[in-house]
Every structure is written in C-alpha cells, then in structure tokens.
Structure 1
Amino acid sequence: MSSNRVTPTEAWQATASRAADCALFFDFDGVLSPITDDPEASQPVPEVLEALDALSRLVRRVAIVSARPVDFLRARFGTLSEVDLFGLYGLERSHGKGETVTEPAALPWVPVVEEVASEARTALGDKAYVEFKRLSVALHWRKTPEHAAEIESWAHAEAERRGLKVQLGRKVIELKPPVDRDKGFVISEAVLSVGCAWYFGDDVSDIKAFDALRARTAVEPGFLGVCVAVASSDETGQEVSDAADFTIESPVAVGTFLADAVKILQANAAS
C-alpha cells in the first residue's frame, strides 16, 4: 500500500470488510506512549488504552511488539485481556495476562547479559542510563548526548567480545543474545495466519516490521498490509516516514486515530 494511492480512512475502510481476519501490531515507545527521559516513567496515552480494548473485540488480533520486557508491558496493558505482548523484540511473549514464554535459545545468555549490565555501570558510570532487561541490556544517552560516541564504542566492543548482537535505537544502543529474533521476524511469523495487518512504528528497528508486511504482500497479493510511522519527535527521522504508507504526528494523535478507526469498524459490523 502506498500513501500516494490511499488515505488513512480508505485504509480503514478496506480493513473493515476483513476485520475478522486482520491483526494490528504496535510498537510501544513513541507510538502508544510519548518518549520520556526516564524509560520507567513511560505510560500509554489514556485514549490508546480505550481504543485498543475496543479494537481487540473488532479484529482478529491486537499485539504490542516492543523492546521492553513483557512484565513491563503487562504492567501497562494488563487490563486488556485480549492483547498479545511480544517483549524484547520477540524473545518473550504472552497472551494478555497469560504466562510469559521465553525463547529457549536466549536463556543461556541471561548470566552473560547480567554481567555486561554490571560492567556497563562500572565502565560508563553516570554517562549512560543502564537498563537491564534480563535478556538484554540497553544503554541510554538521552540525558547525556555528549557521551553518545563513547557509549556506542564501548557497546560495540563489548558485544564483539561477548558474542552479543547490537540493536541501535533512538539515543540508545542495546546488547542482546545472538538469537534470530527481531520485530521483522515476529511480524513475518504472525502474518502467515491472517489476511490483513497494520504495523505502527517510530524507530529504525520498526522498518524490519514494515519490510515483513511488504514481503507478505509480494507473495500474497490479496494480503492487505498497512505501515504507519508515528513522528513522536524530531528523532523519528525521514527514513522511517519514507518506509511507511503514511505518518501520524504523535502518540496522542494515535489515540484519536484509533478511536476514529473503532467507529469505522463498528459501523461496518453493524451494517
């Protein structure tokens, strides 16, 4: 789907006729929640929670696909019993309040990641905010941009020494197990069982999810895939917007956008 051929309303109308076979996937930070200086302070926009609750009863599947751990996501979306949670780029997953399932291949790396987190706190001190996530460690420099190059250099060297993978994000670099899981992998698997899917993202890591929808459309022309970029700040970058079908200006605007979608889908279901 291309933004010069379809409007958001037209995309929802096309979705409405196949809502029962449609999945909606959302990144968390910068999409459903504004970007915050303190990663632990992030909360979904209230309008988003209400809209996702309604959408979970109108489409086949609603899921959050995030770099955050499932426990973090559950604390914010646990009231939505029908929303799936994919944490740590798919290394963890859960259906609503259900049990968290961890990718078995990642488990042996937990002690390694924990050691790296400890070493990062010692080596980088106050230069980086070290976020230990059990299966990965994120080094943030949102509050200390002057140390970005040093933090990136340290992370790349440590990843090479430890055999870890590096994931770049907005003012953050993450070290994680060398397991084949990312947002593109999650979406590629998930869309095999549906005929329609939307993905809402705001970061370069979300482009892989956009690519997964494009790839599905290429082999299954009847598949409807819609890629939405959320310009949550001036950090989103033109690369992400260019990869999407259209752009929404902020997480608050996402809440309004989804509320309008609910009305379109409800009207179609009633007709």
Structure 2
Amino acid sequence: MAETERPTHPVSADDAWARTARDASGTTFFFDFDGVLSPITEDPESSRPVAGIPEVLDRLAGRVARVAIVSARPVTFLRTHFASLAHVDLFGLYGLEVWHEGQVVTKPAALSYEKPMERLAAAARAALQRPVEVEYKRLAVALHYRKDPARAAQVEKWALEQAEEHGLLIQRGRMVVELKPPVDQDKGMVITEGVRDAGCAWYFGDDMSDIKAFDALRAREAVDPAFFGMAVAVANNETGAEVSSAADLTLDSPTAVAKFLTAGLDRF
C-alpha cells in the first residue's frame, strides 16, 4: 500500500482512521464499483465484488452515518450484488439513478432517453460488432474495447459521431467510451450533495470520473475547515497515475480495499 498525504490532512492512514472514528456518527463512505470493489473484467457483466466486500460494507454501515456506492453501472446491476445490504445506498449512472430505502429514483430529465438509448445500443452492436462489448444501461450505452484495444480510435470516432448527431454527452473511462443523456450529473455532484451535512467523508475511486468526487471533498474542506475528506485511489496501469496524484492515499487493488476497510473497522 502506497500512501500520499496532503499537508492539511493527518500524516498517516492510522491518523485518518482515528479522526474518522471520533466522528463516526457524522461520517459517510463513498465507493466506486468497477476497479474499486471489483476487479476490471473483459466482460463487464462478469464483474463481481472481491471476497469480503459485501460483509465489510455491511459492518461499516453499522458504524458510520452512511455508506454509498457511486457507479457508472445502473442500479439494477448493483442490486444484483448488494441486494442484501439494506443500509447501503446505490447511485447508478453517475447519480442519474438512486436506490435509497427500497426505492429507485431517476432524474426526471433523463427518463425520456430510455428508448433512444436502446436503439443506440442496437446500432452500436451492428456498427462495431464483437469483440467490442456494447453495454446497454437503460439510460446510457457503454462501448468497451478492452478485448481489442487497437479499435480504440474506431470506437471513439463512432461515439463522437453519435453524440453530435443525437445531442449526447461522452464519458471516457478505462478502455470504454460511454454515451449519456445531456443531463448535468456526475460523481462530483453526488458527493457535493452527499457531504453537505457530514463532518467527515471518504471516497474510493480508480478512474478519471472519480477525480470530480475528490474535488468535491476538497471544495467542502475549503468552505468548512472542520470538515475532513479522505480521497483514496486504487492503483491501475491505465488511469492510476492521474487518479493517485489527485488522492491522499493509494491502495494496490480491490482486495487491498477490503483489507484496508477491515483493518480500519478495528479502530472504531
């Protein structure tokens, strides 16, 4: 586990846990899914949380004010792996969908894009074909080229053409290009709202979209010196350098995340 601490933060992960334990009732933990709680896989449908993650998140939810997963995945996907966790909130599609206390709430501005995205997914499968994986997410379409990285430029070009033609947004990630509705919503906005009444918050991420979440913690600290935010990166050879440089702490893998949380819970 490699650590990078900012001067305004505790000098070690141990001190960060100690501060968190002192304000457990005012603390929120946020986690990305892919690359953080689950290893990145060639087939996006085969992603699974690493051993111990559901259990440790359940324990954590019993110790702090809130635990939430903030992912590019739809809520339906997240529910298949975390349905047993009654006290963990799920933010799907960068916050376009939210699962909270037994209900899915969708941003009204995105609802009209369900059918257009379904058509777009069909068009992508016809135009790009395998081994490019087309992931239809109800309100978004992700184009994964991990199985054929040489086709990155082709996938990117096709996505940009579709975005321009249909007025969609582009989100880039780890060997994936995603087409999204033109709705102002990202992980940073989820965190900004989520920490409004918190005294402490942690965010664990591995990709470029997670940097906006880190920035949201910094912004809250800037206006409230009593607030403590901890940005944790998960190492990878694709976006790891950029994400780690924006974080306070870097962990080696999703398995290391599970071990780090388990050890941290012993400090409460």
Same fold by TM-score greater than 0.5 = yes
Q: Secondary structure at the match of 1:138?
A: strand
Map 1:112-131; keep pairs closer than 5 Å: 112-131=116-135
Q: Secondary structure at the match of 1:46?
A: coil
Match for 2:191: what amino acid? I
In structure 2, C-alpha distance between the alignment counterparts of 1:109 and 1:49, rounded to whole Å? 32
Structure 1 segments, 4+ long, off by >3 Å, are: none
- How far is the alpha carbon of 1:127 from its aligned partner? 4.6
Aligned to 2:178: 174
In structure 2, C-alpha distance between the alignment counterparts of 1:260 and 1:236, rounded to whole Å? 26
Map 1:1-271; keep pairs closer than 5 Å: 3-5=5-7, 6-95=11-100, 98-231=102-235, 233-265=236-268
Larger % of helix: which? 1
Q: Secondary structure at the match of 2:193?
A: helix
Q: Retained in 1: the 8 A contact 2:234–2:240?
A: no
Runs of 5+ in structure 2 lacking a partner?
A: none
Q: Secondary structure at the match of 1:181?
A: coil
Q: Retained in 2: the 8 A contact 1:25–1:63?
A: yes
- How far is the alpha carbon of 1:237 from its aligned partner? 2.6
- How far is the alpha carbon of 1:17 from its aligned partner? 0.5
Match for 1:70: what amino acid? V
In structure 1, C-alpha distance between the alignment counterparts of 2:100 and 2:247, rounded to whole Å? 27
Match for 1:251: what amino acid? P
- How far is the alpha carbon of 1:47 from its aligned partner? 1.6
Q: Secondary structure at the match of 2:127?
A: helix
- How far is the alpha carbon of 1:95 from its aligned partner? 2.0
Q: Secondary structure at the match of 1:159?
A: helix
Q: Deviations over 1:178-226 (max 9, x none)?
A: 1111100100111102111000000001000000000000011110100
In structure 2, C-alpha distance between the alignment counterparts of 1:9 and 1:191, rounded to whole Å? 22
How much identity, in percent, do the aligned residues show? 58
Q: Deviations over 1:113-167 (max 9, x none)?
A: 1121111111111251100000000000000111110000110111011000000
In structure 2, C-alpha distance between the alignment counterparts of 1:4 and 1:129, rounded to whole Å? 39
- How far is the alpha carbon of 1:4 from its aligned partner? 5.0
Q: Retained in 2: the 8 A contact 1:117–1:130?
A: yes
Name whichever of 3-12 and 39-48 sits farther off.
Answer: 3-12
In structure 1, C-alpha distance between the alignment counterparts of 2:72 and 2:89, rounded to whole Å? 14
Q: Retained in 1: the 8 A contact 2:233–2:240?
A: no
Q: Retained in 2: the 8 A contact 1:127–1:147?
A: no
In structure 2, C-alpha distance between the alignment counterparts of 1:46 and 1:79, rounded to whole Å? 15
In structure 1, C-alpha distance between the alignment counterparts of 2:180 and 2:6, rounded to whole Å? 38
Match for 1:228: what amino acid? V
Output the aligned Cα RMSD.
1.1
In structure 2, C-alpha distance between the alignment counterparts of 1:11 and 1:149, rounded to whole Å? 42
Match for 1:135: what amino acid? L
Match for 1:134: what amino acid? R
In structure 1, C-alpha distance between the alignment counterparts of 2:237 and 2:141, rounded to whole Å? 25
Q: Retained in 2: the 8 A contact 1:84–1:94?
A: yes
Match for 1:149: what amino acid? A
Q: Secondary structure at the match of 1:192?
A: coil
**What's the TM-score once normalised by structure 1's chain length?**
0.94
In structure 2, C-alpha distance between the alignment counterparts of 1:9 and 1:30, rounded to whole Å? 24
- How far is the alpha carbon of 1:250 from its aligned partner? 0.4
Q: Secondary structure at the match of 2:245?
A: helix
- How far is the alpha carbon of 1:14 from its aligned partner? 0.8
Aligned to 1:268: none
